[in-house]
Structure 1
Amino acid sequence: MKYRQLGRSALKVSELCLGTMNFGPRTPEAESFAILSAAVEAGINFIDTANQYGGALGVGSTETLLGKWLAQDPGRRDRIVLATKVHEPMSDDINDRGLSARHIQMACDASLRRLGVEHIDLYQMHHIDRLAPVEEIWQAMDRLIAQGKITYVGSSNFPGWKIAQVNEKAIAGGRLGLVSEQGLYNLIERRAEMEVIPAAREYGLGVIAWSPLAGGLLAGKVAADAGRRQTDDMKQAASARAQQLSRFAALCEARGETQSAVALAWLLHQPGMTAAIIGPASGAQLTSVLRVPEIQLGAETLAKLDAIFPAVGPAPEAYAW
């Protein structure tokens, strides 16, 4: 495994981040525990979750599962960089959501209880809250840091302008500010290159990519989730991109690599990237991508991938004039 600094912080995290959204609702507890243990054994030290994850089992279920795994071996907590999120509705209560100072405090305390830990390494705002003043958000985050409940603050699904706004307020207050942005980014969905990634790089945020395999479209036959690929939306997307995906499959076959591996490796070759989130639903899926950090894609291969999956263009020229 290889490691990178989390943005401009001195914290080092693995290039592959283990996403846990499947754990509980799709992957049973015992298999989830096995995946977590295998990932840590393989050198993955970055684990990402969210307070809302849990699906049909209910919000908070995935954090609770992760807390049970951590409790099995007290030494595990010190070996991992633990990240979770706040913003999404946790109940029908009108105030049990968003980024008010009250909800941030209460949600953090609830996550700590479910996870069974004393502090969260990276506390991420899951989405922007246009009703919450930035000053209120930083007031809440400052309090959590002072209380020793969180160490770093990150964003997720933020547009470039919001990254700039939040960090300018942080700079004015003498704070470290955001250290990471977790956003949608993959070979198919490259709009983050227009504003989000340039803003993140300007302010020293590490970019963490979610859905690196475009919901399975970039996974190919080896690692694809057959269930998801059978949905109408996935069928339509696969049909619309049939030619692209066929060219991509041929390129990967010529290199002797799986499509999942190449798609993940491409992300790690992009400027500003810290980690790609993998969300294995089984031990086999985890094993299939563990060597991704070792894959080197030369300039010729990267150019071929750009030809198959063109970028939207350099910011801001791609849309400003």
Structure 2
Amino acid sequence: MRYRRLGRSALQVSALCLGTMNFGPRTSAPESFAILNAAVGAGINFVDTANQYGGQLGVGTTETIIGDWLAEDRSRRDKIVLATKVHEPMSEDVNDRGLSARHIQMACDASLKRLKTDHIDLYQMHHIDRAAPIEEIWQAMDHLRRQGKITYVGSSNFPGWKIAQANEKAIAARQLGLISEQSLYNLIERRAELEVIPACREYGLGVITWSPLAGGLLAGDAPDQGGRRQSDDMKRAASSRSAQLSQFASLCLDLGQSTSVVALAWLLHQDGVASTIIGPRTKAQLTSVLQAPEVTLNAEVLARIDAIFPACGPAPEAYAW
């Protein structure tokens, strides 16, 4: 496994981050434990979750599974960089959501309890909250840091302007600010290249990519093709992009790699990307992509990929004169 600095921080994280959204709703607790053990055994030290994950089993379920795994062997906690998120509704209570200082404090305490740990390494805002002043957010995050409950703060699904605003306020207060942005980014969805990734580079945030396989569109013949790829929406999307996907599959065949591995490797070749999230539903899905950080794509291959999945272009030139 290869490791990279997370943005301008000194923290080292694995190039592959274990996403856990399937834990609970699609993957049983025993199978989740097996995936966690295999990931750590393969050198993955970065585990990402969110307080809302749990699907039909209820919010908090995924954090609880991870907490039970950590409690099984207390030495595991020091081996991983643990990331979770705050923002999404946790109940019908009007204040049990968003980024008010009150909710941030209460949500963090609840996550710590479910995760059975005393601190979160990377506490991420799951979405922007237009009603919450950035000063209120930083006050809450600084309070949690002083309490030793969180170490770093990151964002997720933030637009470029919000990343700039948040870090300018942090700079003015002589604080570290955001060190990472978790963003939707893959070969099919490249709009993050317009504003988000340039903002991250400017302010020293490491980009953590989610949905690197575009919900399974880029997974090709990966093991266990159940789940979301069998939905009507995904079948329509695959049909509409059949020519692109066929060209990509041929390129990957020439390289002797699976489409999943090449899609992940491509992300890890992009400037500013610190880690890409893989969200395996089974242990087989995990092991099938572990070699991605070791795959080198030369300039010719990268150009061929760009020809299949064109970039948006730089901002503002891509949309302005």
TM-score scaled by length of structure 2:
0.99
- Corresponding position: 1:71 with 2:74: no
- Corresponding position: 1:138 with 2:138: yes
Equivalence for 2:222 = 222
Equivalence for 1:125 = 125
Q: Distance in 2 between matches of 1:66 and 1:166?
A: 30
Q: Distance in 2 between matches of 1:49 and 1:40?
A: 16
Equivalence for 2:111 = 111
Equivalence for 1:265 = 265
- Residue 117 of structure 1: CA displacement? 0.3
Q: Distance in 2 between matches of 1:234 and 1:102?
A: 39
User: Are the counterparts in 1 of residues 119 and 151 from structure 2 also a CA contact under 8 Å?
Assistant: yes
User: Are the counterparts in 2 of residues 158 and 183 from structure 1 also a CA contact under 8 Å?
Assistant: yes
- Residue 224 of structure 1: CA displacement? 6.1
Q: Which amino acid aligns with 1:210?
A: W
Q: Distance in 2 between matches of 1:184 and 1:134?
A: 23
Equivalence for 1:274 = 274
Equivalence for 1:11 = 11
Q: Distance in 1 between matches of 2:314 and 2:156?
A: 22
In the TM superposition, 1:179-198 aligns within 5 A as 179-198=179-198
Which whole-Å deviations, capped at 9, do the CAs of 1:54-109 have from their partners, x for residues lacking one?
Answer: 00110000000000000011000000000000000000000000000000000000
Q: Given the superposition, is the C-alpha separation of residues 161 and 223 from structure 1 closer, same or farther in structure 2, using an over 3 Å criterion? A: farther
User: Are the counterparts in 2 of residues 252 and 258 from structure 1 also a CA contact under 8 Å?
Assistant: yes
Equivalence for 1:308 = 308
Equivalence for 2:236 = 236
Q: Distance in 1 between matches of 2:60 and 2:320?
A: 42
Aligned with 1:320: secondary structure?
coil
Aligned with 1:50: secondary structure?
coil
Aligned with 1:319: secondary structure?
coil
Q: Which amino acid aligns with 1:53?
A: Y
Q: Which amino acid aligns with 2:286?
A: L
Q: Which amino acid aligns with 2:199?
A: A
User: Are the counterparts in 1 of residues 224 and 285 from structure 2 also a CA contact under 8 Å?
Assistant: no
Q: Percent identity?
A: 76
Gaps of 5+ in 1: none
Moved over 4 A (4+): none
TM-score scaled by length of structure 1:
0.99
Q: Distance in 2 between matches of 1:21 and 1:13?
A: 19
Q: Distance in 2 between matches of 1:320 and 1:22?
A: 40
Q: Which amino acid aligns with 1:194?
A: L
Which has the higher mean CA deviation after the structures are superposed, 2-11 or 310-319?
310-319
Q: Distance in 1 between matches of 2:213 and 2:15?
A: 15
- Residue 223 of structure 1: CA displacement? 3.8
Q: Distance in 2 between matches of 1:224 and 1:319?
A: 40
- Residue 319 of structure 1: CA displacement? 1.5
Q: Which amino acid aligns with 1:99?
A: L
- C-alpha root-mean-square deviation of aligned residues, in Å? 0.7
Q: Given the superposition, is the C-alpha separation of residues 224 and 272 from structure 1 closer, same or farther in structure 2, using an over 3 Å criterion? A: farther
- Residue 320 of structure 1: CA displacement? 2.6
Q: Which amino acid aligns with 1:9?
A: S
Q: Distance in 2 between matches of 1:58 and 1:235?
A: 28
In the TM superposition, 1:75-86 aligns within 5 A as 75-86=75-86
- Corresponding position: 1:177 with 2:177: yes
Equivalence for 1:212 = 212
Aligned with 1:104: secondary structure?
helix
Q: Given the superposition, is the C-alpha separation of residues 125 and 7 from structure 1 closer, same or farther in structure 2, using an over 3 Å criterion? A: same
Which whole-Å deviations, capped at 9, do the CAs of 1:202-255 have from their partners, x for residues lacking one?
Answer: 000000000000000000012463332221211111111000000000000111
